[in-house]
Structure 1
Amino acid sequence: MRYIKALLGGAALAAMLPTQAAIVVLDFEGVGDLASLDDFYNGGTDSAGNSGTNFGVIFTDTSIGYVDADAGGSGDQANEPTPNTVLTFEFSSNDIMNVPAGFDTGVSFFYSATEAVFIGVYDGLNATGNLLATIPLVKQFNIGCVGDPTGDTCNWSPAGAAFAGVAKSVDFSGAGLYVRFDNVTLGSARPVPEPSSYLLMALGLTAVGLVSRRRMRR
């Protein structure tokens, strides 16, 4: 019984981890296939009428939700970090994510790219103001793919940048249909585990502690 209580205590500690309060992860699940994201993460809807959590994040109408073909969508991806929907863009000079309230520390994501491109982070809306960071992406979409047997963009790499100040927009222009994005993370220079991963980690540490205590008593 004491062990069960200890494990439950570990779960409670995981739920209270402070890093989650400052970090936002956009996994694009719920966005319609081929729909533009628009206000999906801003208290509104995507172009297909679907709504997500209101994080105060706005995408221009050149953004595209790609649902994996294995799940009945149009996407050519495989092994995406959070199945089944990813983000891509039309070829445009206006492929932008705006965060009017701003965010600090860093931005990151997983990507699969068929061409090398650069992503810019700005302290003004619509890719204006000062350039806070540049994130280079390399062509790596089909390197060492395993697992999911279907999908051309099957290799996913983490990318991101830390910066000083407050960012209000990320410019994906130039990425276009060359790149797929998943788990776009605001507030961290590295994509972070989902809360469930923290829970499993906390439970694992608690279990290790219990085993160690039992061995010491012997």
Structure 2
Amino acid sequence: MRVTSTLLALTLAAALQPALADTVSLKFEDLTQVTALTDQYASSGISFSGDVWGTVSRLNGCGGTEAWTRSDAVSCGAIEVGKNIQDLPGSDTASFTINVANGFIEAFSFVFASRATPNVSIMIWDGLNGTGNQLLAQPVSLSGDVCTSVYFCGPWTSSSLAFAGIAHSITVSAGDQLFAMDDLSFITPAASNALPEPGSVGLAAGALGALAWVRRRKTR
């Protein structure tokens, strides 16, 4: 009887597990070369469009081609805003969009590095492709230390942009090749006291009923 109760309890926990979804994180350590980012992370529900590149450092044994490093973490991959980071930087502003198909809530977290005065603007939207309502009241200005030896260096700065509502996209703009990001983190709606799906509710109800029946039999 004790084994039966344990199995039913495990069934109940599994049924309710979708309500405890994990944070979705992108660290870009799977990148092996400079590449324009599009749908490489579609399996995580995240896509990119515009002037954004996956970049791999050539330092610290990373085997890439780009001159950047992080002293706060072991990291070989990151993303950089730029028209074409394989060319010399231009004077134009570059911009890109991050779409999160299933939405995200509460905050968008990341680390960043910048060069000179990057004039960074980050906006969070409730629609895809930078449309709908702005959930972040105004553009966020970020700046970092100037590197003298490589493009991006030192301990990258952590940032977390809080907002209210359910967001589906982020737009980022900055001076061409002056801003890099890593360790992107999104909280899925299910991770914040969301209700489980109807099917899970039914399974959970069945498990609770079975547990009650087992306990009644034990008291007889």
- Deviation, 1:186, is 0.7
- Deviation, 1:82, is 4.8
Does residue 29 of the first structure (1) align with residue 47 of the second (2)? no
Report matched runs for 1:1-218 at 5 Å: 21-42=21-42, 54-70=43-59, 71-79=62-70, 81-91=73-83, 94-114=95-115, 115-133=118-136, 134=138, 136-142=140-146, 151-155=150-154, 156-174=156-174, 176-187=176-187
Could you tell me which amino acid in structure 2 is paired with residue 38 of structure 1?
Answer: T
Cα distance in 2, alignment partners of residues 37 and 20 from structure 1 = 29
* TM-score, length of structure 2 as denominator length: 0.62
Cα distance in 2, alignment partners of residues 24 and 83 from structure 1 = 18
Larger strand share, 1 or 2 = 2
Cα distance in 2, alignment partners of residues 121 and 66 from structure 1 = 24
Task: For residue 154 of structure 1, give the secondary structure of its aligned residue in structure 2.
Answer: coil
Cα distance in 2, alignment partners of residues 176 and 123 from structure 1 = 26
Cα distance in 1, alignment partners of residues 26 and 157 from structure 2 = 16
* Structure with the larger RCO, 1 or 2 (CA within 8 Å, 6+ apart): 2
- Deviation, 1:183, is 0.1
Cα distance in 1, alignment partners of residues 19 and 144 from structure 2 = 30
What is the aligned length?
Answer: 155
- Deviation, 1:76, is 1.9
CA-atom RMSD in angstroms: 2.7
Which ranges in structure 1 are unaligned for 5 or more consecutive residues? 1-17, 43-53, 189-218
Bigger Cα Rg:
2
Task: For residue 184 of structure 1, give the secondary structure of its aligned residue in structure 2.
Answer: strand
The answer (yes or no) to whether the contact 2:81–2:94 under 8 Å persists in 1 is: no
* TM-score, length of structure 1 as denominator length: 0.63
Cα distance in 1, alignment partners of residues 140 and 103 from structure 2 = 22
Matched residues, percent identical? Answer: 26
The answer (yes or no) to whether the contact 2:120–2:172 under 8 Å persists in 1 is: no
